[in-house]
Structure 1
Amino acid sequence: MITEFLPLFLMIVMAFGLAYTLLKVAEYFGPYQPGAVKKSPYESGQDPVGTARDRYSIKFYLVAMIFIVFDVELVFLYPWAVSFRTFLAAGGGAALISVSVIAVFLFVLVVGLIYDVKKGGIDWD
């Protein structure tokens, strides 16, 4: 059984070996010219101000939560909508179970969205 996967393992080892070899060759032959400007911290074209330990605003997380809510909703609703016709063709029980599962799923997403709205995630001040 292991002999069937031997070519695969050999190819993975060869790929890692080639990648490591190319990195080391580039490190050995490539130019290395450090300077004060190259060693200084750089962030979005501006000099960093303050410490890296600053806390993010809660607004950042709320916007991320809105994105996740709508992204997850689309990812799960589209295949369900495409296959809903087959649930209807299978009979009333399959369609009822399918609709009830999606209703619970949408309820959880709407609760998350309501929480986000109440916390001010959609207020774009």
Structure 2
Amino acid sequence: MKKESKGKSDGTKKVVQTDAPAVSKKPAAIKVKTPEERKVAHIQGIIKTAVAAFLGMIAGFGAFHQFGAGTETKWYAVLVIVGVLAYYAQRLIYPAIKINTKEFGPKDWFYVEFIVIDFCLVTWTLLLN
């Protein structure tokens, strides 16, 4: 893009070149899903949530049996270990049940990991009471 401006008092124009892309006034095209695609996406979302919740409950039982009340161990270290193990477990489980993990973004992975850690903490807490 070229931008002209008055540079000197003698009337000459100074040309400034910028590498900024031109801003388009058109909105981005939104892909409209068919009812079948929405149904499949909804079912896959429920499956992803159920798998994450199940892994979290297993992790909660495992943490209770391994660490008990967790007084000798840093609890946040346990959660990091659970999160990492659950991430790799889900990377193996989802393709086995026909869910494409290549479509997952950081937001999706954060969501399923949050569910795992949340269910782990809830299960562990319930077992301690």
If the length of structure 2 is used for normalisation, what is the TM-score? 0.29
Q: Which has the higher contact order (CA 8 A, sep 6+)?
A: 2
Give the structure with the higher percent helix. 1
If the length of structure 1 is used for normalisation, what is the TM-score? 0.30
Give the structure with the higher percent strand. 2
